[in-house]
Amino acid sequence: MAMLKDCSALRFLLSGGLNTAVTYLIYLGLLRRAGYQLSYAIAFVCGIAISYVMGRVFVFKSHQGYRSALMLPLVYLIQYLAGAAVVWMWVDLLYQRPSLAPAISIAITLPITYLLSKFAFVGKIR
């Protein structure tokens, strides 16, 4: 709950919700034509671009120049690897529906993504 005391945390959740909705629709659209892993990867890359714009303009309202632009893909690479593992476990180990896999992944990786994103844009976690 400490995350919600910071206004940037609330803006992160709002922009993340919008980003999630957009990228989930992309994922579902691609799922009809491609496998779940490729669909997840493409939707994820789209989400990084949306996240950068939203993080810089709306969430943190600051950036550290090239540092933010270079660090954010690293943040999302970490989230992607963790998220892809969750998606794989959800589908291949737990035999659950692929359409729900991204939601489970997001729920698990959200807190660390917020902290790493804040560090990338602001330079501190507090």
Structure tokens at 113: 């993504």
Residue 26 and residue 2 in contact, taking contact as beta carbons nearer than 8 Å: no
Residue 121 and residue 64 in contact, taking contact as beta carbons nearer than 8 Å: yes
Position 6 confidence tier, pLDDT thresholds 50, 70, 90: low
Question: Per-residue pLDDT for 55 more than 50?
Answer: yes
Mean pLDDT for all residues in the chain? 87
Of the candidates 54, 96, 95, which has an alpha carbon nearest to the alpha carbon of residue 76? 54
pLDDT of residue 1: 43
Q: Among 15-19, 92-96, 109-113, where is mean pLDDT lowest? A: 109-113
Can you tell me the distance from the alpha carbon of 110 to that of 106, in angstroms, rounded to the nearest whole number? 6
Query: Residue 69, Cα to own-chain centre: how many angstroms?
Result: 15
pLDDT of residue 2: 47
pLDDT of residue 5: 52
pLDDT of residue 56: 87
User: For residue 100, what are the contacts with CB-CB under 8 A and spacing of at least 6?
Assistant: 90
Q: Residue range 6-29: average pLDDT?
A: 90
pTM of the predicted structure, to 2 decimals:
0.69
Residue 48 and residue 72 in contact, taking contact as beta carbons nearer than 8 Å: yes
